[in-house]
Amino acid sequence: MPAKKKKQPSSVTGLGVDLAEVSRVRRLAASPRFLKRVFTPGELAYAGASKNKYERLAARFAVKEAVIKALDDTSLPLSGIEVENTASGRPRVSVKGRPGLRLLVSISHTAAYACAAVIAFE
């Protein structure tokens, strides 16, 4: 029987953190153009179903900015980064055109601020 290959540990390739003001996102969200440029239809539906719509949008905006920082790639379109929740409620991020990319994300928000931290792995 062949020996089992040990799984190589992943190495961290980037870390991104961002803080977003909920009031700023609320102001910007008055523009349908902003919403379309930044958020996916799924993200808009998720936020729209909540009484804390702008807190959720600000949290997703913070994640997108943190992903760009973690990947050191300012060419990524914000709408190409999507934040979804797993069945347990844990956030998960995907980046369009980067199928093998592994990202860990943590989000938190209050009525005034939303923050996100993203770790990118090789």
Domain holding 99, by residue range, is: 21-121
Is 13 part of any domain? no
- For the domain that residue 67 is a member of, what is the CATH number? 3.90.470.20
Q: What is the pLDDT of residue 3?
A: 66
- Alpha helix (H) residue ranges in the chain: 22-28, 32-38, 41-48, 53-71
Using a cut of 0.75, tell me whether the model's pTM lies above it. yes
Is 85 part of any domain? yes
Is 10 part of any domain? no
Q: Residue 95's closest CA among 32, 40, 13?
A: 40
* Whole-number percent of the chain with pLDDT over 70: 93
Is 33 part of any domain? yes
Is 113 part of any domain? yes
Total length of the chain: 122
Note whether 44 and 85 are within 8 A (CB). no
Report pLDDT digits (tens) over 24-45.
999 999 999 999 999 999 999 9
Q: Distance from first CA to last CA of the chain, Å, rounded?
A: 30
Is 5 part of any domain? no
Report pLDDT digits (tens) over 48-85.
999 999 999 999 999 999 999 999 999 999 999 999 99
Question: How many separate domains does the chain show?
Answer: 1
Is 15 part of any domain? no
